[in-house]
């Protein structure tokens, strides 16, 4: 039995993170979307990094740091 490698769009990853933030447990969301719970943890970590980066970009001084 071969496994099929699945790819998930950034929009889908954001959706599952939002579902967990809305109050569902990671296990519930994982079962609903047939995902491994570790994938949700990775999506949450990436979202946190993305949010941190956006905060840093907004707070950057105007002298050429983008």
d(CA 59, CA 8): 31
Phi-psi region of 24 (alpha: psi -120 to 50; beta: other; left: phi over 0): beta
Look at the block and give the residue holding tokens 């071969």.
2
Look at residue 66 in the predicted model and tell me its pLDDT.
52
- Model pTM above 0.75: no
pLDDT in tens, 1-58: 677 888 888 888 889 989 988 999 989 999 999 999 898 888 888 888 887 777 666 6
> Domain residue spans in the chain?
10-59
Decide: 2 and 35 in contact? Cβ < 8 Å. no
Tell me how far apart the terminal alpha carbons of the chain are, to the nearest angstrom.
48
């Amino acid at each position: 039995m071969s496994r099929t490698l699945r790819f998930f769009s950034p929009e889908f990853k954001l959706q599952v993170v939002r579902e967990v933030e809305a109050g569902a447990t990671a296990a519930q969301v994982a079962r609903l979307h047939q995902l491994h719970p570790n994938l949700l943890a990775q999506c949450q970590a990436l979202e946190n990094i993305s949010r941190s980066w956006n905060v840093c970009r907004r707070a950057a001084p105007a002298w050429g740091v983008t």
